[in-house]
Structure 1
Amino acid sequence: MQMNENQSETGLGTEASKTTSPKRRNLVVGNIHVLFNPNRGDIKLGQVRIFLERAHKLSQEWGNIPVIIGGDLNSLPQSAIYQFLTASELEILLHDRRNISGQLECPPQQKDLKSRDENVARSLMYRWSDEELRLAAGNEALTHLQHDLKLYSAYLGVPGSRRLRDSRGEPLATSYHSKFMGTVDYIWHTKGLIPVRVLETLPINILRSAGLPNEKWGSDHLALVCELAFANDGTTA
């Protein structure tokens, strides 16, 4: 994606842009919808891995330009998949393939992942087949997964109300239906971009009373919106 530095919020160039050549800024923008099935953490992790690899490759091909990614990860903020995005690495065998997305045992606002010592003690419980490791990591011999993007959550970068955010700063809920309520949708960005403002989600009591989808909101997911600025000059993206 290309943007003019003097592009206005309406998308129309300013008067000056008619007489000068605007400097263009490039971005990589990607969107993903990860598999829902909580039991197939191998596939979910593999989808996220490939997505991040391709975003990084495009960024490098265009001169290490900033990256914005978003979508439905079907993974909670307490999950190992969320940890993989934020920490840029993950020890696969420390996690149960059937709950690597956190959907089965972690309702909203539950405590974080267990400590590393506890995870090491429990690691003997978790067995991944060669096929599952190939799907998750791309190689059955690879159990330490890494990606090359340093990612920041856009919503964490803009403080919000405790009525609408969890202890990290993510929305309390981006999806709600008869069997689930929690956060599975995110916007992430790399260094070089700064979140300026975000669209807040709905309070939990409104979601429970209105239900999703309904006549006003046609999806069981809420929209996430973020305005970002280039770190060097304040131009918005």
Structure 2
Amino acid sequence: MERRMSRAGLQQKKKTMWDMEPAADKSLARSTDTVLYRVHSEWRDVSFQAQASEADTAAYGEVLGQKKTVRESPEWRALDMGRMNITTVPPQLSRFGFLVELSLNKNFLQEIAPEICRLERLRVLDVSENMIKNIPPEICKLVALRSFVANDNMIRTLPPEMGGLWRLEKLVLDGNPLEDSLKTLYHERGATETVRYVREHLLITVEPPERVWHYIETAEKTLPHLTLFSHNILGNTFTSSQIYGYVPSWALEWERRKDLLLAEILHQYADIACLQEVETFHYDSFFLPALEKHCNYSGCFIPKTRSKTLHFADRHNVDGCATFFRKDKYRLLKTYYVEFNKLAKRKTSQCDDMYQRITTKQNVALILLLEETTGGNTFLCGNVHLHWDPECKDVKLVQSILFLEELERIRESTNPAFVVVLGDFNSLPDSGVYSLFATGHVDPAHPDFLGFKYNPYTQRGFNHNFGFKNTYSNAKELPFSCFSADFKGKIDYIWYSSRRLVVTGLLGPLSQEYMSKTVGLPNIYLPSDHIHLVAELSLKPGHAATPGATEEQT
């Protein structure tokens, strides 16, 4: 067996090899579907393979400091910067977000730079034969990483955050002065078990700073009227370790998460709380009795449609929407249960797209007609959970139209003072769903219909006059409402009647610094992959003193 070279000898050999290497060898051969590039240590002279395209050259111009645009090229996904005598990684590297493989082996690096931890598509990282002492906690952001080679460095331990790299299949730490317990674990159990052990036993996430409440200044004097709370709580059925492998298994257990979820609701103590993905058994046995006891809430619940097709004993795991309200402030006048597939069946024959794509989905919504115990205003509160699949934009858009049609039918018969709609819309701000709620219109040729025929909507479009506005558009919007290892975006909203109401306060986002070191949610402090939204709304002047006035009378 070849004896391992000393650190000093290794670095001297590295320097000698670089000095002797001819310029023609400073580019690497093309692999099966990837072109690798070797770049000069001073970032001035580059030798490209003959196969490199003009697009490749343009992309690399950014690293060289030239005024060219980085673009993702299908020709290359890997970068080799090994044996270049570099001591630091240039910050421009973070712009190469399309990189899948990165080699920094046989250099003089003393740390894994933050720039590397921003390459979230990286699957292979080789930092072997350097002088690295510590692995930064930000490495948890490399959620796609499959192979991490870090042999022959000066690493003694692994950061707890490394437990979040649940996709890691290859971990090479040979030739490091590892602590005895870690060395034994690594040699006896291998890479996957080492990472799993770190995740299960050492991953202690820092508690997030409390979210800041933002008061919204208004030009008119208003009185606080109602606070709204919305949260997709992550149903227990969906907490698969295959999806949330970056979370310790014990942190996904319902007995732990339910107390955190309850604590969030109690802390905010909103007038109305709308929850999504609440399982039937958890509503009956936990949420309703707990919130009645601690908050004097009353509640309503609707499970997804498939609950009706199951044996009674099997219904307890079916999730749905739950709405709770303070009994000291509101009286429940009527509950409307909305099943989207049932609404779709009224408009369809078995041979059209409405039947094939909408009636097969199980999504539901709740609409409550509430009356103030003091003041006498009545209003409608909707709780919505649209279809989840990002490829089914048409389904979500049609479900939204069906919901708004039903909401309009109820409004005509009840004459509420205002309307609010909360929930998980599974739709980004550039979607047809968001545009429909915000503008009151969807064009018949909207691309989110995906070319399917949903008559009459794809013939004449659809309009509504609720005058909805997104509460978080009144201030700096949340950067996300859902944050997992594979998705980050705004898909949860609180909509309100802007002709009658004004936003006076909002719960702000999670700390940006905290989230920069987080793989995704949930974690041991935050029990869902969604964050809860909270908004305070007030009636505009002139409306608070006119009980029974409707939106049409404004």
TM range (shorter): 0.5 to 0.7
Structure 1 residue identity aligned to 2:494: I
Q: Percent identity?
A: 26
Structure 2 residue identity aligned to 1:180: F
Contact 1:198 1:225 in 2 (8 A): yes
Distance 1:79 1:140 in 2: 16
Distance 1:47 1:140 in 2: 12
Distance 1:149 1:180 in 2: 31
1:215-234 alpha-carbon deviations (Å, 9 max, x no partner): 11110000001111122239
TM-score of the two chains, using structure 1 as the length reference: 0.66
Distance 1:226 1:194 in 2: 10
Structure 2: 5+ residue stretches without partners:
1-224, 226-270, 272-294, 296-325, 330-372, 547-554
Mapping for residues 134-173 of structure 1, pairs under 5 Å: 134=455, 139=456, 142-157=459-474, 159=475, 165=476, 170-173=477-480
Task: Measure how far apart 1:141 and its partner are.
Answer: 5.7
Mapping for residues 84-163 of structure 1, pairs under 5 Å: 84-97=436-449, 128-130=451-453, 133-134=454-455, 139=456, 142-157=459-474, 159=475
Contact 2:482 2:489 in 1 (8 A): yes
Distance 1:222 1:46 in 2: 26
Distance 1:55 1:182 in 2: 27
Q: Would the alpha carbon gap of residues 234 and 207 (structure 1) be closer, same or farther in structure 2, given more than 3 Å must change? A: farther
* Residue from 39, 42, 49 that aligns with 2:401: 49
SS in 2 for 1:93: coil
TM-score of the two chains, using structure 2 as the length reference: 0.30
Structure 2 residue identity aligned to 1:35: H
Contact 2:471 2:495 in 1 (8 A): yes
Partner of 2:507: 199
Distance 1:34 1:71 in 2: 8
Task: Measure how far apart 1:196 and its partner are.
Answer: 1.2
Structure 2 residue identity aligned to 1:233: A
1:12-66 alpha-carbon deviations (Å, 9 max, x no partner): 68xxxxxxx9431111000111111122122111111122222222222222420
Distance 1:199 1:234 in 2: 28
Distance 2:539 2:398 in 1: 30
Contact 2:377 2:416 in 1 (8 A): no
Q: Would the alpha carbon gap of residues 141 and 194 (structure 1) be closer, same or farther in structure 2, given more than 3 Å must change? A: closer
Distance 2:487 2:458 in 1: 35
SS in 2 for 1:45: helix
Contact 1:53 1:148 in 2 (8 A): no
Partner of 1:217: 526
Q: Would the alpha carbon gap of residues 60 and 97 (structure 1) be closer, same or farther in structure 2, given more than 3 Å must change? A: closer
Structure 1 residue identity aligned to 2:420: I
Q: Would the alpha carbon gap of residues 43 and 81 (structure 1) be closer, same or farther in structure 2, given more than 3 Å must change? A: same
Contact 1:75 1:81 in 2 (8 A): yes
Task: Measure how far apart 1:145 and its partner are.
Answer: 2.0
SS in 2 for 1:30: strand
Instruction: Answer 1 or 2: higher relative contact order, Cα 8 Å, separation at least 6.
Output: 1
Mapping for residues 176-187 of structure 1, pairs under 5 Å: 176-187=483-494
1:62 maps onto 2:379 in alignment = no
SS in 2 for 1:196: strand
RMSD: 2.6
Contact 1:155 1:198 in 2 (8 A): yes
Structure 2 residue identity aligned to 1:177: S
4+ aligned runs moved over 3 Å, structure 1? 9-13
Aligned length: 176
Contact 1:52 1:149 in 2 (8 A): no
Distance 1:66 1:37 in 2: 31
Task: Measure how far apart 1:143 and its partner are.
Answer: 4.4
Moved more, 211-220 or 48-57: 48-57
Structure 1: 5+ residue stretches without partners:
14-20, 99-127, 160-164
Partner of 2:136: none
